[in-house]
Amino acid sequence: MRYCFGVDIGGTTVKMGLFGESGEIIDKWEIVTHTENKGEAILPDVAASILNKMKERELSGAVVLGIGVGVPAPVSDDGVVDGSANLGWEYKEAKKELEHLTGLKARFGNDANVAALGEMWKGGGLGEKNMVMVTLGTGVGGGIVSDGRIVNGAHGAAGEIGHMHVNDEEPEQCGCGNYGCLEQYASATGIVRLAKRKLKKDKRDTMLTKETVTAKAVFDAVKAGDAVAVEIAEEFGRYLGHALAGIAAAADPSVFVIGGGVSKAGKVLIPFIQKPYREWAFFAIKDVKFTLATLGNDAGICGSAKMILGE
């Protein structure tokens, strides 16, 4: 039997998994991400943890197919990361370094793209070959899978849809410097922003309060039939649905998989996104499915492993 490792390096923890060659998760664990000193310890820590696990399980290098790694940054085809704010990295030949440290073959990918591959393999996109994954978390990210392969793009930034321009009237600036980016409406923080704006102007009774509103509170209130919350969700869905109609024109997926913290609201989300999507989508792509991500925190390690086991 042969094995591989799937690694998902985040800004606070590194999630790691040992997989069998047919894709089963044999073991998973986490280590802390040490971002100090430009994150210089991160790859040595990952390497040590992998070598340690191989020792513990008595696996020789000959039976380990390689290490797949997702990182929060664009990654070039040859595994170079040219800066990652979350990890403290500047220019780093990540693939080369990890291969040198472990003696194993390594492959790096952008974390959102890798998570998309994971969801296609074992999650919300199971059985599909053309998928767009949309991650609604602190920010908005995404990944595109075309004919079973990750679309990386020229800068490893394909699928990074958070800064698509969706509103000409936005007075507040996005973190990126532009105005009216999708992330300003469809991320967890974007939903809170929409809610606060709404609650300021709308004097109807509602379960929501300006001070304590969260994305989760909005969708909980939607489930309870709160009319104000429904209108906030509609606004969220309108921006996101319209953006996805544009993305579908470019990528022609068979399924959208919605993941990230906001997706924990559950199926209640889907119609708010799907209705405006269908309104604007070209007829050939109106019937694209919408599903929720199912792998949660495992999407990254699964997609990383899949990079090694073969897309």
Number of residues interacting with a second copy: please give it, by CB under 8 A: 45
Q: Which of 56, 77, 78, 90 binds a second copy (CB under 8 A)?
A: 77
Nearer to a second copy, 67 or 288 (CB): 288
Site string for a second copy, 136-175 (x = CB under 8 A): ------x-x-xx-x-xxxxxxxxxxx-xxx----------
Query: CB-wise, 144 or 194, nearer to a second copy?
Result: 144
Q: Residue 82: which region, alpha, beta or left (left: phi > 0; alpha: psi -120 to 50)?
A: beta
C-alpha distances in angstroms, 197 versus 81, 213, 229, 244, 306?
38, 11, 12, 24, 42
Cβ 126 to a second copy shortest distance, Å? 15
Shortest distance (Å) from residue 262 CB to a second copy: 19
Between residues 27 and 78, which has the closer beta carbon with respect to a second copy? 78
**Rounded to whole angstroms, how far apart are CA atoms 300 and 110?**
10
Part of the chain binding a second copy (CB under 8 A), chosen from 93-101, 191-199, 209-217, 282-290: 282-290
Name the residue type at position 71: V
Between 33 and 113, name the residue whose CB sits nearer to a second copy: 113
Size of the chain in residues = 311
Question: Which position has the token pair 């429904």?
Answer: 230
- What residues pair up with 8 in beta bridges, in sequence order? 15, 70
DSSP code, position 298: G
**Would you count residue 285 as binding a second copy (CB under 8 A)?**
yes
Residues 106-135 that bind a second copy (CB under 8 A): 128-130, 132
**Site pattern 238..277 for a second copy (x: CB under 8 A):** ----xx-xxx-xxxxxx-----------------------
Closest CA to 139 of 191, 214, 71: 191
Nearest one of 118, 162, 164 to 137, comparing CA atoms: 162
Residue 30 half-sphere exposure toward CB, CA atoms < 13 A: 13
- Chain residues that interact with a second copy, rule: CB under 8 A: 74, 77, 128-130, 132, 142, 144, 146-147, 149, 151-161, 163-165, 176-178, 242-243, 245-247, 249-254, 280, 282-285, 288
